[in-house]
Structure 1
Amino acid sequence: MNTLGKKIRLLRHQNGWSQEDVAKRLDISIPAFSKIETGITDINLSRLEQIAKLFNLSIIQLLTYNDTEEQEKYISDLETSNKKLRERESEIIALQKKIIDLFDELRQSKVLS
């Protein structure tokens, strides 16, 4: 399924419409609408305007509409990266502590000798 098709599907679900509902509103067959959602059929400008109007959006808003799946993936990737960063920061702090301890040992051995 292409990105635009996913956006259209998401908008349809958000409005509580079936594929049949939208197909009737667009005056096309259900299989034709299904092909739009799945990306099998490319959408011409006229159809794009019709779909945008159906959802009370401009064409730009429709094309740039952020779907939840993309946002969730981005958030998930960001959380994973932050977790790894925190783990690396902890490792660095532990290594810094070891360096300080070794320096102190070295300094103590020089004082005693």
Structure 2
Amino acid sequence: MNEVYDKIKAIRLAKGLTQIEVAEKTGMTQGNYGRLEKGLIQVTIERLEQLADVFGMSVGNILNYEGETPIEKADIDFLRNEVFSLQRQNVKLKKTIAEKDEIQEETESYDFKKRKELENKIKELKKEVQDLKEKIGLQKERLDEKDRTIKLLEKTIEALTRIDKV
């Protein structure tokens, strides 16, 4: 069996990981990962890079693994670069969250102002409707009064016409 595959298995065991965990983190099925550890599947550079990420070490350290060894400069550099990358991602995410929060606050403030404007407009329109109803009521009263006056004038004309005939 090839030494690289034995090293991959030894590293996995030293890290306390199961085949399933490593397989999931590398996008493989557990069966394919098991075949990889047995040397039945050829390991590619891309797969070694994925394993290096999962194991938290460099590809060179995987290839040169001889059991539990002290952390080497390459591992420190690799981990330092990962930390810096994560810090940059964290800063970007915080900035994005802050921008989205600001947009949400502006939207809520705008919505609140718009709602208040609409409520005030509705109040104004209700007042106008009430005023129109009152005017219509007054107009109706005037028309009723004019109708009564006309009826009274008609009776008066009728009475005068009867008097003239007598």
TM-score per shorter chain, which class? 0.5 to 0.7
For residues 22-65 of structure 1, the C-alpha deviation after alignment (integer angstroms, 9 at most, x for no partner) is 11111110111011100111111111111112111111111011
Aligned residue in 1 for 2:30: 30
Q: Distance in 1 between matches of 2:66 and 2:13?
A: 14
Aligned residue in 2 for 1:57: 57
Taking structure 1 as the reference length, the TM-score comes to 0.56
Output the aligned Cα RMSD: 1.4
Q: Distance in 1 between matches of 2:16 and 2:61?
A: 20
Q: Report percent identity of matched pairs.
A: 29
Q: Distance in 1 between matches of 2:43 and 2:35?
A: 10
Q: Displacement, 1:67?
A: 3.5
Count of residue pairs brought into register by the alignment: 68
Taking structure 2 as the reference length, the TM-score comes to 0.39
Runs of 4+ in 1 over 6 A off after TM superposition: none
Q: Distance in 1 between matches of 2:39 and 2:67?
A: 16
SS at match of 1:57: coil
Aligned residue in 2 for 1:44: 44
Q: Displacement, 1:5?
A: 1.1
Q: How does 1:1-113 map to 2 (within 5 A)?
A: 1-67=1-67
Which amino acid in the other structure matches residue 66 of structure 2? N
For residues 88-108 of structure 1, the C-alpha deviation after alignment (integer angstroms, 9 at most, x for no partner) is xxxxxxxxxxxxxxxxxxxxx
SS at match of 2:41: coil
Q: Distance in 1 between matches of 2:17 and 2:61?
A: 20
Q: Distance in 2 between matches of 1:21 and 1:11?
A: 13
Q: Distance in 1 between matches of 2:16 and 2:67?
A: 16
Q: Which has the higher contact order (CA 8 A, sep 6+)?
A: 1
